[in-house]
């Protein structure tokens, strides 16, 4: 276990932030192109972006097999970002709606101080 003084930890955080700046949305190839297709196309772009920037990502596709493994309503994407931040993303098509389970999960996240971001294609 690493033991740092407060000053050493602050120096580490400053160095980490310099080495791993937050990428911009515009850095994603094709970011300005509308995704009129299925959620999977948009999900693929987000996964590609995360891999290009070296960000850990959990991408959940609701296949029949995955439904038994995932908590109902869990967001489509969990993305780990620098600075101790975690981004939860729910993808929807232009006309898609959140299920009751997704709405309930969003309320639970909010009660714990987290947010589920909804992105539409």
Give residue-wise pLDDT tens across range 54-103. 889 998 875 656 666 778 899 999 999 888 889 999 999 888 899 999 99
The CATH code of domain 6-120 reads 3.40.1350.10
Residue 101, pLDDT score = 94
What are residue 87's phi and psi, to 5 degrees?
-115, 125
Nearest by Cα to 98 from 72, 73, 62: 73
First to last CA, the chain: 44
Gap between the Cα atoms of 19 and 91, Å rounded: 30
The most confident of the ranges 38-42, 47-51, 67-71 is 47-51
Classify the C-alpha dihedral 62-67-69-74 as positive or negative.
positive
The yes-or-no verdict on residue 31 having pLDDT over 70 is no
Gap between the Cα atoms of 57 and 62, Å rounded: 16
């Amino acid at each position: 276990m690493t033991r740092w003084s407060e000053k050493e930890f602050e120096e580490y955080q400053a160095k980490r932030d310099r080495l791993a700046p937050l990428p911009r949305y515009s850095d994603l190839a094709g970011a300005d192109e509308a995704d009129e297709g299925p959620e999977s196309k948009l999900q693929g772009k987000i996964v590609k972006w995360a891999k290009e920037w070296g960000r850990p990502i959990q991408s959940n596709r609701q296949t029949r097999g995955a439904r038994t493994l995932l908590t109902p309503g869990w967001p489509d994407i969990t993305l780990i970002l620098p600075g101790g931040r975690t981004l939860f993303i729910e993808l929807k098509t232009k006309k898609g709606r959140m299920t009751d389970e997704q709405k309930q999960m969003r309320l639970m996240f909010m009660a714990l101080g987290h947010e589920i971001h909804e992105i539409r294609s």
